[in-house]
Chains A and B, each alone.
Chain A
């Protein structure tokens, strides 16, 4: 048994000697080549990453733009597009002359806006809930819109169920940021499906 152990040790020593006598590592050229490969690989990855970020940004901007452009049509639940007319200031009453009707008086189809296809107009603007926020220095202007009556109700205008499914033309008093403060009905027509 001691002989066997001695042989084992001898063999191990010979193997260690063999390991020591062999070439100890790869050539220096391999190291240089791998470092170069590393640099090129990560430079390419960085380029791809930047390209992906740029593509993502472009996609986000395009989506945002598309959404923003479609926003008016999304808001309009009626078939036709919203028609905006800017009214020359001399043709409309200045906002200072707005006479406020109480919000508790809904516009009744039979009273203020009777059932008919004839054009109607009232000289009085009806204050919307946002009227309370109008500031003294705000530059007000009047725009004319053709929109579903339902949308008027969403803005807080007193609209009854009877005319909710019709398209109406209305003047809006809006602030410089587009906030509608008051409206008046110009005319409305039956909704023909």
Chain B
């Protein structure tokens, strides 16, 4: 996939429209979903996806294969654009940023799969994800929602896979605490 992506990018740089279409079809969904789950805003997701591919159209040679995969490059552009946008709009209001309680026995006893099975409860979960601090939210989005491996997510976030693992663990703790502590679960499941 990596060398294939690289070849697509090379062809794209030569003006090959089919190569652009292939690359777009391959990455527009994951990038759109990544931005959507990070921002919680479909319009922002659409706008940033557009900006990512416009960057690829305008500067296809700015990709450096030595720095990572094409996927990592595209997610990196999306991530930077999203951060810039969030700084402008101040939508990022992280909750639980200061001092996250470790899992309490009560929290561990909650059967989330059972309780978060309806649309309403999913909405509660979506809000809880959006309320996570950005560094934790992005690992949840990349590893859980986009089902990337730790090394893949590490390439996007530009940190080590170990950091990804620890952030994910902490993010899940935050989610459990958040869902339980604010009574969302009870409300969500009725």
Interface residues of chain B: helix, strand, loop or mixed (majority)? helix
Known: A27-B46, A37-B57. A17 touches B122 (CB 8 A): yes
Shortest Cβ distance from residue B59 to the other chain A in the assembled complex, whole angstroms: 11
Inter-chain contact A34/B125, CB cutoff 8 Å: no
Give the residue name and chain of the A residue nearest to B114 (CB). A10
Enumerate chain A residues within 8 angstroms of B112, measured Cβ to Cβ: 7, 10-11, 13-14
Enumerate chain A residues within 8 angstroms of B126, measured Cβ to Cβ: 18, 22
Inter-chain contact B42/A14, CB cutoff 8 Å: no
In the complex, per-residue mask of B120-141: 1 if CB is within 8 Å of any chain A CB, else 0: 0110011001000000000010
In the complex, per-residue mask of B150-166: 1 if CB is within 8 Å of any chain A CB, else 0: 00000000000000000
A137 at the interface (CB under 8 A from B): no
Inter-chain contact B117/A17, CB cutoff 8 Å: yes
Q: Size class of B's contact patch?
A: 35 or more
Inter-chain contact A10/B122, CB cutoff 8 Å: no
Inter-chain contact A10/B111, CB cutoff 8 Å: yes
Enumerate chain B residues within 8 angstroms of A42, measured Cβ to Cβ: 15, 17
Known: A7-B111, A14-B113. A19 touches B33 (CB 8 A): yes
Give the residue name and chain of the A residue nearest to B25 (CB). A31
Inter-chain contact A13/B113, CB cutoff 8 Å: yes
Enumerate chain B residues within 8 angstroms of A4, measured Cβ to Cβ: 103, 108
Inter-chain contact B145/A15, CB cutoff 8 Å: yes
Interface size on A, residues (CB 8 A): 35
A77 at the interface (CB under 8 A from B): no
Shortest Cβ distance from residue B146 to the other chain A in the assembled complex, whole angstroms: 7
Enumerate chain B residues within 8 angstroms of A9, measured Cβ to Cβ: 113
A41 at the interface (CB under 8 A from B): yes
B97 at the interface (CB under 8 A from A): no
- Most A Cβ at <10 Å: residue of B20, B21, B29, B175: B20
Known: A7-B112, A9-B113, A10-B112. A15 touches B129 (CB 8 A): yes
In the complex, per-residue mask of A111-148: 1 if CB is within 8 Å of any chain B CB, else 0: 00000000000000000000000000000000000000
Could you give 16 example pairs across A and B, Cβ below 8 Å?
A8-B172, A11-B176, A14-B113, A16-B144, A17-B122, A18-B122, A19-B146, A21-B122, A23-B42, A26-B28, A30-B49, A30-B50, A35-B21, A37-B57, A38-B20, A41-B58
Given contacts A10-B110, A14-B116, A26-B28, 12 further A-B contacts (CB under 8 A): A3-B109, A6-B111, A10-B111, A14-B113, A14-B125, A18-B125, A23-B36, A27-B46, A30-B49, A31-B28, A34-B24, A41-B57
**Footprint of B on A, CB under 8 Å?**
3-4, 6-19, 21-27, 30-31, 33-35, 37-39, 41-42, 45-46
**Footprint of A on B, CB under 8 Å?**
15, 17, 20-21, 24, 28-29, 32-33, 36-37, 42, 45-46, 49-50, 53-54, 57-58, 103, 105, 107-114, 116-117, 119, 121-122, 125-126, 129, 140, 144-147, 172, 175-176
